[in-house]
Chain A
C-alpha cells in the first residue's frame, strides 16, 4: 500500500483549514500535512496558507475546480479571485474533452497557482461528475493526463476522483472507474464521493468504498477527502489517511457548489459545539456531554486528559477549545493506528469498545448514542479482510464480538438519528 516514494506515508490525518481556523493552524506545529482550499488562498494570501506552510511539513491546496462548472461560484467574490476561474460563465466540460489546448492551458494555470503558493504536493484539476457518462468525468481524465505531462520529475501529483456516492453501490461501475485511473497511474488519488455520510450510508456503499480504497492504494498514495471517523477504517484497510475539516466539513455535497447553497438552520446546534469522543467515534451533542461523563460510571474512565480538556468537562459554548481537542485526539488516533501490528484488527477492537461504551451510557445515563453505523463498519472490516489466516489472533474473542453485535441489534434500530 502507498507509493514507495510517498511524501505522506500513513496513517495520517490531514486537517483542512478554512479562514476561521487560523488559531488552530498556529497552535499545531510540526504536523505532517495540511489542506487549504484555493478560495482561502485567494481571499487572504498571507493568513491561513502561510500558517499552514509554517506549521505543516507539506501544504496541499485544493484547487476547487469542481466549483467552476456551476453558477454558484459567480456569486462568491473569493472564488472569482482565483486566477483560473472564468469571468462570466461556468466552464463547460465538453471544452476540456474536445480542445486539447484549452485543457493544457487550464491544467497549467491550476498547477502554477499551487506552485506559486507553496504547495508541496500538487492536485490536478477536477470536476464533479454524477456518473461515468457525465462529460465531466471524461474531462477529468483528460485534465489529469494533461497535468501529468506538466509536472516535473521531482513533483508529486494527485488526482481527485469526485463522483456521486451512488456509484459505490455498483461493483461494475467501480471496476470501470478503477480501470480508468489505473490506466493513467497517477502518483496518488484523492477519493471525493458526494453525499457519503459515514453514519448513514448503506453497508453496500461502505464496502464499495473500502474495496476501491484497497484496490487503488496498491503502490499508490490514496486519501479519502472528505470523510469523518470512517476514514480511520479506510486507513487501516490501505489508505494513507484522510482529509476533513476541523471537527466538521466531513461530507461533500453537490449542493454546496450551487447558487444559494443551504447553510446551517439557526434552529440546529452548530456542529462546532459538538464534542468529539474518540472512544465512541462520535460527536456528542453539547447538552449530553456533562451527563455522559457524570452520570455514566463507565465513562468516568474515559474523560479526556488532553492539554485542552485536562480531565474536565468542556463548556457547551467552548467551540474553539473543542476544535483544538478534536485535532489533538484525531492526530493521536492516527498515531496509535500507525503503531498497530494489525490495523484492521485494531479498528475492530476499537469499534467493539465503542459499542460496549454506548451500551453502558444508555444503561447508566439513559442517553442513546447512535451505533448502527459502527456495526456496519465492523462488517466492512470483516468483508475486506476475508480469507485471513486462522493463526491471526484477535484481541477480542470472536464469540464475544458476535454477542456484542447481537446485543446491539436487540436494542433495536429505532435510535434517534444524529445527535
Chain B
C-alpha cells in the first residue's frame, strides 16, 4: 500500500468544515494535511504533532525524500541496525509478503538510494541512521455535514495509523449524533460552526494499530512539501 494523495476538494459545505477544522489544529501548533490515505480509508484531515529534532535529523542525514509505501516501514521496523549482521533478502521478502526479487528491486534498493538502508554483504541489508516517526502524535478527522454514522465508521478506520480520531460535524446536526456510540469506540467529537470548532469531547490516546501505517501517514508531511518554518526556527513542541 502506498501513501495516497487525493485531490483536495475546494468547494462545498464539507470542504468548508475541513478548512475550519484545519485552521483549528494549525492554531494549536499542529502540522496538518488533507486527504491522507494509507490503504484503508482516506482521512479528510490529519494533524501531526511534529518532533522538530527528528525532522532536522532526517534532513541532516539526507533522508528528506518521502517514503510512500507501507512496506518501506515494515522493513525499517524489522531490519537490524548496521553492525548487527544484516538481514537477507528472503527474510525481508517474508516480512512484506512479496517476492524476493521485488523486495530487493522495489523496496531495499529504494531505501538504500534514499539513505535509510545499506547493503552489508551480498544479499544482506541493515538500517543506517535509525528511523523514528516524524510525529509523536497523530490525530485524524472525518468531517461530515450531517451523516454522523458514516463519518463515525470512517473515523474508526483511522485508528490504524492515528493516536486519536475525531468526527467533525456541523453544529446544527450535532444533536443527531449518538455520543455514547462514539465514546464506546473512542471517537472524539468536534462541532463546527462558522469559523469555529468546539471540542464536545476528546478521543482517548491509544497507540495506532499499525506502527508501519503510522509512519506512512507521517510521510504526508514530507510528501506534501509542507513548509517547515517552525523546524527552521528550532521551535520545540515540548516533546522528546
Contact = CB atoms under 8 A, between A and B. Distances in A.
Contacts of B4: 267
Contacts, number: 41
Interface stretch (B112-120, B146-154, B222-230): B146-154
A181 B98 CA distance: 45
A419 B37 CA distance: 14
Interface centre among A266, A267, A319 (most CB of B within 10 A): A267
Assign chain B's interface to a size class: 20 to 34
Contacts of B40: 269, 285, 287, 419
Given A317-B97, A366-B185, A268 B153 contact: no
Interface string B90-112: 00000011000000000000000
Contacts of B153: 362, 366-368, 416
Given A267-B1, A267-B37, A287-B209, A414 B97 contact: no
Contacts of B157: 287
A366 B156 contact: yes
Interface string A353-397: 000000000100011100000000000000000000000000000
A14 B97 CA distance: 27
Nearest to A267: B2
Interface of A is mostly: loop
A362 B209 CA distance: 20
Contacts of B181: 366
Interface residues of A, number: 18
Contacts of B2: 266-267
Interface string B206-220: 000110000000000
Contacts of A273: 97
Contacts of A317: 96-97
Interface string A258-292: 00000000111100010000000000010100000
A152 B209 CA distance: 61
B150 A414 contact: yes
Chief secondary structure at chain B's binding surface: mixed
Contact of A287 (B147, B152, B154, B160): B160
B163 interface: no
Contacts of A414: 147, 150
Contacts of A415: 150
Contacts of A362: 153
Nearest to A367: B153
Contacts of B37: 267
Query: Which among A269, A273, A317 has the highest number of chain B CB atoms within 10 Å?
Result: A317
Contacts of B209: 287
B39 interface: yes
Interface in B121-151: 147, 150
B170 interface: no
A67 B157 CA distance: 40
Contact of B152 (A318, A319, A366): A366
Interface string B176-199: 000001000100000000000000
Contacts of B154: 416
A358 B152 CA distance: 16
A269 B97 contact: no
Given A287-B209, A319-B97, A268 B1 contact: yes
B39 A269 contact: yes
Given A287-B40, A287-B209, A414-B150, A266 B69 contact: yes
B169 to A, nearest CB: 15
Contacts of A368: 150, 153
A268 B185 contact: no
A365 to B, nearest CB: 8
A66 B215 CA distance: 45
Contacts of A266: 1-2, 69
B156 A367 contact: yes
A282 to B, nearest CB: 16
24 contacts: A266-B1, A267-B1, A267-B4, A267-B39, A268-B1, A268-B39, A269-B1, A269-B39, A269-B40, A287-B160, A287-B209, A287-B210, A317-B96, A317-B97, A366-B185, A367-B153, A367-B156, A368-B150, A414-B150, A415-B150, A416-B150, A416-B153, A416-B154, A419-B40
List the 7 closest pairs (A to B, CB-CB), nearest first.
A267-B2, A317-B97, A287-B40, A366-B156, A366-B185, A368-B153, A267-B4
Given A268-B1, A414-B150, 19 more contacts: A266-B69, A267-B37, A268-B39, A269-B39, A285-B40, A287-B40, A287-B157, A287-B160, A287-B210, A318-B97, A319-B97, A362-B153, A366-B153, A368-B150, A368-B153, A414-B147, A416-B150, A416-B154, A419-B40
Interface of B: 1-2, 4, 37, 39-40, 69, 96-97, 147, 150, 152-154, 156-157, 160, 181, 185, 209-210
